[in-house]
């Protein structure tokens, strides 16, 4: 797409200003003179594979100026950019995915270099453009060497690449022949927003929604992370040192020391809290505080929360709290084993591979507050220095003779306090060997469980402090449902089967492998019905590692002949 003036192309998303943005152009350095003019204080970078092309552009269009531009000579489609992560405010990569073998890898990879408040600007050819459809009707397709996308397809691609807010602008092409669009519509091609007239789409993708972006612009990541940790403990009734006021004291101290004001806290709570009533119940201890400053802060917070929740059902919850203190909405009933007998001294072991002690310490706080049947004991086994997940889990298995074992990630929080009771009831069924939170009924031919036609289970994801995302698939009709594969964030077993460290000496496909090993021995892998989420997974979003494909091939060589894909 050629540039005619500074208002065309991806520049339509930008407003000229004197802000010192950091801006990266990826194989589209024709934008350089326009960005120089629009953003005189910006720090400009160009990443290109063709050094001669870059110098020619500088000579022809930029008066030979190279000294004020940072040049990176590399092919972004085949290797990572040698640049600092989370560095840029804007990345312009016009047609950046049109020649990518795996567009998701490229889109998510470019996102690594964006600030949390940054934007990726792209364009793509519209496969629903009337001229493309007309050519297809004539037996021609001219995108063999490049990719064309539909807008809905591209939206899903960006979501899978960890972009939370995506907007589009059309690039209108030639006027269609008389009656052609009507013919296409009668054939079933919807023309929403004149999609059939757009030769291409311009895209602005942000790593956060506008609401989350505003939260990120204030306070440091460390402060926001600590705020999320404390609010989550209060929401789920996780006590510190045997009582809950310790978390309240830490939260008040954090707000006071960092000048966190009630309106900001109310907006933060709205974005990252699921059980508003439960959080309000925990916060209500402030009302009994002898310090008037805390009581005043609490009153202002309630008022700000009511304003923040105007567009949600939780508005009524907050309004009720201003009149008194209702019972907490998120209350877990006293557990019941339903007649299942547990022998005295029965143990359950929680095994975790640990390389970040601060994450494990938080997960351990939640695990230690799970309810246990009378006579049952829990033990907690961290494994450090593991060479692989399978190796670490085998080490953990060898350290305990517990009848039940829970293999759980260091960044997974078990918030269902009746988790052990619920687990034991599932294991009471015949031939259940392993339980997970989410998985696939049948694996596809790729062996990647989330590509399956039918996925079941649910997990809360808190990949950034400011929000949670509900990953909810289909739910079992009964108490549980058999799966072919389970995700490895949490896997509980009732039988000991060795983890295949002979094949999986890294950090991928260990979970799906274990499910297949269980099935080879006649045991079921199952997902429970969760009326409320049992776990919160707190990983950092990142593209799949390069070695993922290696372990995928190993998995298919070992188990591919056993798969019966539905698609």
DSSP string, 457-525: EEEEEEEETTEEEEEE-B--SSSEEEESEE-TTEEEESS-----TTT--SSSSHHHHHHHHHHHTT-EE
Nearest to 521 by CA among 435, 434, 443, 457: 434
Q: Does residue 398 come out as left (phi exceeding 0), alpha (psi in the -120 to 50 range) or beta?
A: alpha
Q: Is 178 exposed, middle or buried (0-12, 13-18, 19+ CB in 10 A)?
A: exposed
Alpha carbon distance 17, 19 (integer Å): 6
Alpha carbon distance 420, 405 (integer Å): 11
Q: Where are the beta strands (DSSP E) in 96-216?
A: 114-126, 148-149, 165-172, 198-206
**Reduced to 3 states, what is the DSSP secondary structure of residue 254?**
helix
Using the structure block, give the residue that is written with the tokens 């929680």.
350
Q: Three-state SS string across 58-107, please?
A: HHHHCCCCCCCEEEEECCCCCCCCCCCCCCEEEEEECCCCCCCCCHHHHH
Q: What is the pLDDT along the chain (567 residues), one digit of tens a residue?
A: 455 543 479 999 999 999 999 999 999 888 988 998 999 999 999 999 887 777 776 555 555 455 678 999 998 988 889 999 999 999 999 988 888 888 888 999 999 999 989 999 999 999 889 888 888 877 877 766 678 888 988 998 888 888 989 999 999 988 888 888 888 888 888 888 888 899 999 999 998 888 898 999 899 999 999 999 999 999 998 987 654 458 888 998 999 999 999 999 999 999 999 988 888 888 877 766 666 787 888 888 888 888 888 777 788 788 777 777 666 555 566 787 877 888 888 999 999 999 999 999 999 999 999 999 998 999 999 999 999 999 999 999 999 999 999 999 999 999 999 999 999 999 998 899 999 999 999 999 999 999 899 999 999 999 889 988 888 899 999 999 999 999 999 999 999 999 999 999 999 999 999 999 999 999 999 999 998 899 999 998 888 888 999 999 999 999 999 998 886
Q: Is 174 exposed, middle or buried (0-12, 13-18, 19+ CB in 10 A)?
A: exposed
pTM, full prediction = 0.83
Element counts in the chain: helices (H) and strands (E): 18, 21
Residue 327 is predicted with a pLDDT of 61
Residue 330 is predicted with a pLDDT of 52
**DSSP class per residue in 193-231:** GGGGGEEEEEEEEESS-HHHHHHHTSS-HHHHHHHHHHH
Residue 395 is predicted with a pLDDT of 98
Alpha carbon distance 567, 455 (integer Å): 13
Alpha carbon distance 213, 518 (integer Å): 44
């Amino acid at each position: 797409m050629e540039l005619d003036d500074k208002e065309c192309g991806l520049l339509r998303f930008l407003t000229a200003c004197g802000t010192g943005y950091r801006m990266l152009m990826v194989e589209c350095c024709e934008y350089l003179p326009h960005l120089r003019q629009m953003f005189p204080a910006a720090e400009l970078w160009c990443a290109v594979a063709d050094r001669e092309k870059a110098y020619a552009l500088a000579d022809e269009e930029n008066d030979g100026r190279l000294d004020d531009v940072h040049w990176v000579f590399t092919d972004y489609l085949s290797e990572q950019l040698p640049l600092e992560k989370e560095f840029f405010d804007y990345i312009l990569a016009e047609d950046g995915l049109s020649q990518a073998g795996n567009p998701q890898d490229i889109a998510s990879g470019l996102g690594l270099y964006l600030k949390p408040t940054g934007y990726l600007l792209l364009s793509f050819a519209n496969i629903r453009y009337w001229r493309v459809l007309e050519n297809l009707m004539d037996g021609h397709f001219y995108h063999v060497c490049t990719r064309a996308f539909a807008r809905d397809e591209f939206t899903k691609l960006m979501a899978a690449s960890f972009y939370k807010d995506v907007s589009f602008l059309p690039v209108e092409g030639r006027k269609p022949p008389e009656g052609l669009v009507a013919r296409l519509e009668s054939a079933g091609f919807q023309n929403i927003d004149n999609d059939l007239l757009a030769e291409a789409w311009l895209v602005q993708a942000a790593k956060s929604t506008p609401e989350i972006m505003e939260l990120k612009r204030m306070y440091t990541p460390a402060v926001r992370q600590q705020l999320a940790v404390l609010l989550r403990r209060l929401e789920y009734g996780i006590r510190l040192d045997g009582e809950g006021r310790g978390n309240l004291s830490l939260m008040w101290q954090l707000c006071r020391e960092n000048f966190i004001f009630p309106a900001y806290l109310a907006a933060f709570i709205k974005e990252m809290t699921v059980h508003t009533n439960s959080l309000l119940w925990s916060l209500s201890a402030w009302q009994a505080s002898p310090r008037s400053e805390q009581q005043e802060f609490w009153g202002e917070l309630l008022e700000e929360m009511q304003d923040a929740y105007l567009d949600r059902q939780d508005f009524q919850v907050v309004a009720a709290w201003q009149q008194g203190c209702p019972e907490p909405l998120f209350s877990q009933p006293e557990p019941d084993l339903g007649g299942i007998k547990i022998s005295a001294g029965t143990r359950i072991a929680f095994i975790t591979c640990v390389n970040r002690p601060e994450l494990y310490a938080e997960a351990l706080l939640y695990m230690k507050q799970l309810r246990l049947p009378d006579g049952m004991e829990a033990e907690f086994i961290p494994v450090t220095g593991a060479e692989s997940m399978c190796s670490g889990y085998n080490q953990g298995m060898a350290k305990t003779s517990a009848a039940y074992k829970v293999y759980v990630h260091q960044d997974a929080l078990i918030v269902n306090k009746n988790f052990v009771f619920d687990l034991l009831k599932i294991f009471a069924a015949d031939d259940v060997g392993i339980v997970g939170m989410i998985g696939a009924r049948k694996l596809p031919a790729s062996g990647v469980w989330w590509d399956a036609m039918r996925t079941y289970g649910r997990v809360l994801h808190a990949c950034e402090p400011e929000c949670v995302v509900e990953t909810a698939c289909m739910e079992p009709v009964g108490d549980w449902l058999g799966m072919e594969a389970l995700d490895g964030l949490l896997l509980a077993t009732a039988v000991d089967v060795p983890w295949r460290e002979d094949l999986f000496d890294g950090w991928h496909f260990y979970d799906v492998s274990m499910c297949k090993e269980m099935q080879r021995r006649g045991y079921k892998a199952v997902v429970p019905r969760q009326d409320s989420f049992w776990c919160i997974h707190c990983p950092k979003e990142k593209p799949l590692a390069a070695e993922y494909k290696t372990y995928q091939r190993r998995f298919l060589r070992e188990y591919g002949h056993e798969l019966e894909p539905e698609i």
